[in-house]
Amino acid sequence: MSDRANRPEGLPPERSGPGKRLERREPGRRPPLTPEEARKKREKRIMILMIVLAAGMIPLAVFGSLITGLILLVFVNRKSHVTPYIVVLQCGDGEAEAQARALLEASTRRCAVKSKTVREGLVELNLDVRLRDGDTGVVNALAGLEGVRSAVLVSYNGDYLG
């Protein structure tokens, strides 16, 4: 049986080496480039520019470089305004966990379980969420649910190794 058949949906194929990437992809979004991939992309652009220059198409090379530079300038300075958060929940049982997850999924743009720990009388969840309009009141609602012992909201940069 192949390794691909056992992989969860949405997880890119495993790669080996220093540029190993195992994070899940959001639908319609490319994962960030590894330094090796970025270097190869730059080299490819330089090769195309050299071919155009060698063919004597200097105006095409100049205008192509200007247009490429403008496109890069626009997209590099564009920032994402959605801040990723980790919600750490401690629940007394599975029923409280289900209620808390339902509330989070209804009141956030995105909610994904990063880790879950179950001990006797305690269920702890770490969830990656994207809040709607920066509304942190959802944590107050979580803390008020029956069976939820604590709810913590932590901002992070989007890189999660777990």
In CATH, which superfamily holds the domain spanning 84-155? BMC (bacterial microcompartment) domain (3.30.70.1710)
Query: Is the separation of the CB atoms in 112 and 25 below 8 Å?
Result: no
pLDDT at 1 over 70: no
Q: What is the domain partition of the chain in residue ranges?
A: 35-76, 84-155
pLDDT digits (tens, 9 = 90+) for 25-56: 555 666 777 888 888 888 888 888 777 777 77
Q: Write the pLDDT tens digit of every residue in 111-133.
A: 899 999 999 889 999 999 988 88
Question: Is pLDDT above 60 for 76?
Answer: yes
Strand, coil or helix: what is 1? coil
Q: Which of 78, 82, 104, 81 is nearest to 91 (CA)?
A: 104
Beta bridge partner(s), residue 126 = 88, 115
User: Hey, what are 79's tokens?
Assistant: 């920032």
Per-residue buried b or exposed e for 116-147, using 16+ beta carbons within 10 Å of the residue's own CB: eeeeeeebbbbbbbebeeeeeebbeebeebeb
| pLDDT recorded at residue 45 | 84
- Indicate whether 136 pLDDT > 90: no
Quote the pLDDT of residue 134: 78
Please check whether residue 121 is in contact with residue 92, taking contact to mean a CB–CB distance below 8 angstroms. yes
